[in-house]
Amino acid sequence: STPVVIDCDPGVDDAVALLLALASPELEVRGVSTVAGNVSLADVDRNAAHVLDLAGAPAGLPLVSGLAGPIARAARIRDEPMHGAGGLGGLVPQAPPRPFSAGHAVDWLAERALEAPGELTLVAVGPLSNVAAMLARHPQAGPALREIVVMGGAAFVQGNVTPAAEFNFHADPEAARYVLESGVPVRVVGLDVTRAALFPLASAERLAALPGTAGVAGGLLRDFALRYRDRFGVPAVPVHDALAVAAVSHPGLLGWEEGTASVECSGELTRGALVADLRTPDRERRVSIARTVDADAFAALLTDRLAGYAGG
């Protein structure tokens, strides 16, 4: 199985991504780190701990807190309603969640890379603040990673925060740029594919009727899908971050374009825009951008893996 660490900002789709990863025998989850994004770091931390409890993850699984805002800008928390109050659609932890591990995500991520050179995949599904700071502070860590799989950006379609920019890249554009230009192999799972892989409301409703954590996950997805339907009129919802996890466990779900890429940091209208250069075949090609997705296979995978939590 593929060793991974997951840097996230739960967030409903982050929560589903964690549940999917922890139910995937194709992956060996070596730990989880948090970064501010969808909600404040305090809320993200509480949510991440709660999700690991829901998943029945081992008590010893590292859970490490990270940066409370972007690397070069003032923190600004998302002011849109998709993730609901507190970030998990109003779901409030009943019991005190598990404690965090010692240390800081920026150092912990580097330690995990360096202890297993060439092995580790870093799945980053929030703003890239921790990842960029880690690469900058620990120059040996980037080359030790197998790859970074990022949920972020919109190379061929419109953004979701502005016409040009997707949330994770818009939240910390300098960090996103640093990661994409770092020379570490990066695979980008952006809105290009996450919006083409909508999870049906009806499937979420069926999951919500199941017992245990499967029902909780289904309820989260159902409410997420209902909020999306109210805004966009479609009875299905993108589960962005879970698709990034699936890109690691089931690489055949996605089709890729190879090139180089950067992120606009100073544009008046285009801050946070992903700019992919797919033109020149002779350049060093370090960034892959997902362009196509098998939406039905992804929905089936997610349904199957979440339904597996019905016993817990």
CB of 288 to ligand BDR, least distance (A): 18
| Measured distance CA(229)–CA(157) in Å, rounded | 20
Residue 171 in contact with Ca ion, rule: CB under 5 A? no
Which does residue 167 touch among ligand BDR, Ca ion, none (CB within 5 to 8 A, set by kind)? ligand BDR
Among 12, 91, 123, 125, binds Ca ion (CB under 5 A): 125
Question: In the bound complex, what is the minimum distance in angstroms from residue 276's beta carbon to ligand BDR?
Answer: 17
Q: Give dist(CA 107, CA 188) in Å, integer.
A: 23
Minimum distance from CB of 67 to ligand BDR (Å)?
Answer: 16
The two three-digit tokens of residue 305, written as one number: 């893996």
Which of ligand BDR, Ca ion, none binds 160 (CB below 5-8 Å, type-dependent)?
ligand BDR
User: Is 170 marked active-site?
Assistant: no
Q: Which of 11, 62, 89, 219 binds Ca ion (CB under 5 A)?
A: 11
Residues that bind ligand BDR (CB under 6 A): 11, 13-14, 38, 125-126, 151, 160, 166-168, 240-241
Residue whose CB is less far from Ca ion, 55 or 144? 55
Extract the tokens encoding 247. Answer: 């890109």
41 vs 144, which CB is nearer to ligand BDR?
A: 41
Residue 283: CB minimum distance to ligand BDR, A: 28
Residue nearer to ligand BDR on the CB measure, 84 or 212: 84
Three-state secondary-structure class, residue 292: strand
Smallest gap from Cβ 246 to ligand BDR, in A, equals 14
Q: Cα(197)–Cα(204) distance, rounded to whole angstroms? A: 14
Q: Which of the ranges 109-117, 155-163, 185-193, 237-245 carries the binding residues for Ca ion, by CB under 5 A? A: 237-245
Nearer to Ca ion, 166 or 257 (CB): 166
Q: Which residue has the tokens 């640093």?
A: 178
Positive or negative, the CA dihedral 66, 70, 73, 78 is negative
How far from chain centre, in Å, is Cα 145?
Answer: 17
Instruction: Given the residues 50, 83, 170, 240, select the one marked as catalytic.
Output: 240
Distance CA 96, CA 90 (A): 16
Beta carbons of 41 and 65 less than 8 angstroms apart: yes
CA gap 48, 257 in Å, rounded: 32
Neighbours of 285 (CB within 10 A): 15
Contact characters 239-268, Ca ion, x per CB under 5 A: --x---------------------------
Q: Which of 177, 112, 171, 101 is nearest to 138 (CA)?
A: 112
Burial grade of 26 (CB within 10 A; 0-12, 13-18, 19 or more):
middle
What amino acid positions are annotated as catalytic residues? Answer: 240
Contacting positions for Ca ion (CB under 5 A)? 9, 11, 14, 125-126, 241
